[in-house]
Copies of this chain bind each other. A is one copy, B any other.
Amino acid sequence: MGTTTGPVKHVVLFSFKETTTEETKAELIRGYEDLTTKIDVMRHFEWGADISVEDLQGGFSHCFITTFDNVAGRDAYIPHEAHQAYVKVLLPHLEKLLVLDYVPEVVC
């Protein structure tokens, strides 16, 4: 188990519903990116579409990772008005959603 004093990585995996258009998918991802301009505890943010070849992605198509300085940053992010407004727009378009946070043990 990691300590809770170091940086926190916030891992979000999701997949879109079949009915969500490519244009809307791109808009929704831009909306997630735009949160970084509104929520200052988002110290680092990156994302990407799945390119795994092992067929173990369990139906998830995208990964988004936010880094917070500490648990307090994560705890400020979750209820943040801009985050909550984004979640309201995003959720109706999601087929699957998974969120996991961890304090990294950096091995190399």
Which A residues are within 8 Å of any B CB, using their own CB? 1-2, 4, 8-11, 13, 33, 36, 42-54, 56-58, 60, 62-63, 65, 71, 75, 78, 97-108
CA distance A36 to B104 in the complex (A): 16
Query: B44, B60, B71, B108: which contacts A51 (Cβ < 8 A)?
Result: B71
Q: Contact at A105–B47, with CB atoms within 8 Å?
A: yes
Known interface pairs A42-B108, A44-B106; 17 further A-B residue pairs with C-beta atoms within 8 A, sorted by A's residue number: A1-B49, A2-B49, A11-B63, A13-B98, A36-B108, A43-B108, A46-B105, A47-B107, A48-B102, A50-B100, A50-B102, A53-B75, A53-B78, A54-B78, A56-B97, A58-B98, A62-B102
Q: Which of B48, B51, B99 contacts A56 (CB 8 A)?
A: B99
Q: Are B11 and A101 in contact (CB under 8 A)?
A: no
User: Which residues in B have their C-beta under 8 angstroms from that of A2?
Assistant: 48-49, 51
Task: Say whether A4 contacts B102, CB under 8 Å.
Answer: no
